[in-house]
Amino acid sequence: MTRALAAALVAWLLAASAAAGAAPAPQPAGWARLTDCRYVESEANDGDSFHVHCGAGDFIVRLYFVDAPESDLAFPDRVREQARYFGITMDASVGAGKRAAAAVREALRQPFLVWTRWASAQGRSKLPRYYAFVEVSRHDLAEWLVAQGLARPRGATVQHPLGEPARARLARLRALEQEAREQRRGAWTTSTERRKR
């Protein structure tokens, strides 16, 4: 992980920790609120999908609302499409995917919260994979990835368990993406893509 990315992660965690201490919100109907979750190392982990241990079980989380670049060339058509989106080469896209995976691993060194409805996100693993929101020190991981230029708004959307409409969350993610593009963060560092989406 680069020093700049590590510094951004530390600043994010420090700022987010100031909000800690408030009473936990009640669990909305249909949602499971899993606390004290732990990141589980796996070669298959990447920026938007990774193994976790929560309570007595292990499963794979697939983040709602975002798509991080692939961290290898196992799916070349997908890598090509992601590279085209960011306006970068396929090699640069895979590099951004590796940085996203490393950033998630670093961010999830401490226990974190998972919100899930147990909606299947299907994947290559035999382990179940479910869509989820992940919070570290009360900060949304997907938003942080987009703000760092390591993911784009895309994928499955749903109203947040605490009531935020999907449309509002997507608008915030698009604003974070625009800022990351303008600041040339993450995958946008070498991008030839300049126009506002």
State the pTM of this model: 0.84
Q: Mind listing the pLDDT tens digit of every residue in the chain (197 residues)? A: 454 544 444 344 334 433 334 344 456 779 999 999 999 999 999 999 999 999 889 999 999 999 999 999 999 999 999 999 999 999 999 999 999 999 999 999 999 999 999 999 987 777 899 999 999 988 999 999 999 999 999 988 899 999 999 999 999 999 999 999 999 999 999 998 754 44
Cβ(68)–Cβ(50) below 8 Å: no
Fold of 30-190: OB fold (Dihydrolipoamide Acetyltransferase, E2P) (2.40.50)
What's residue 156's pLDDT? 85
* Integer Cα distance of 117 and 131 in angstroms: 7
* Residues constituting the chain: 197
Please report, as a single letter, which amino acid is at residue 78.
R
What's residue 194's pLDDT? 56
Q: What is the DSSP letter of 68?
A: P
- Tell which residue, 108, 114, 97, 152, has the closest CA to residue 13: 108
Cβ(34)–Cβ(116) below 8 Å: yes
What's residue 87's pLDDT? 97
- Tell which residue, 41, 59, 47, 28, has the closest CA to residue 93: 47
**Alpha carbon separation from 28 to 67, 108, 114, 155, 165 (Å, rounded):** 26, 24, 13, 22, 14
What's residue 58's pLDDT? 94
What's residue 155's pLDDT? 83
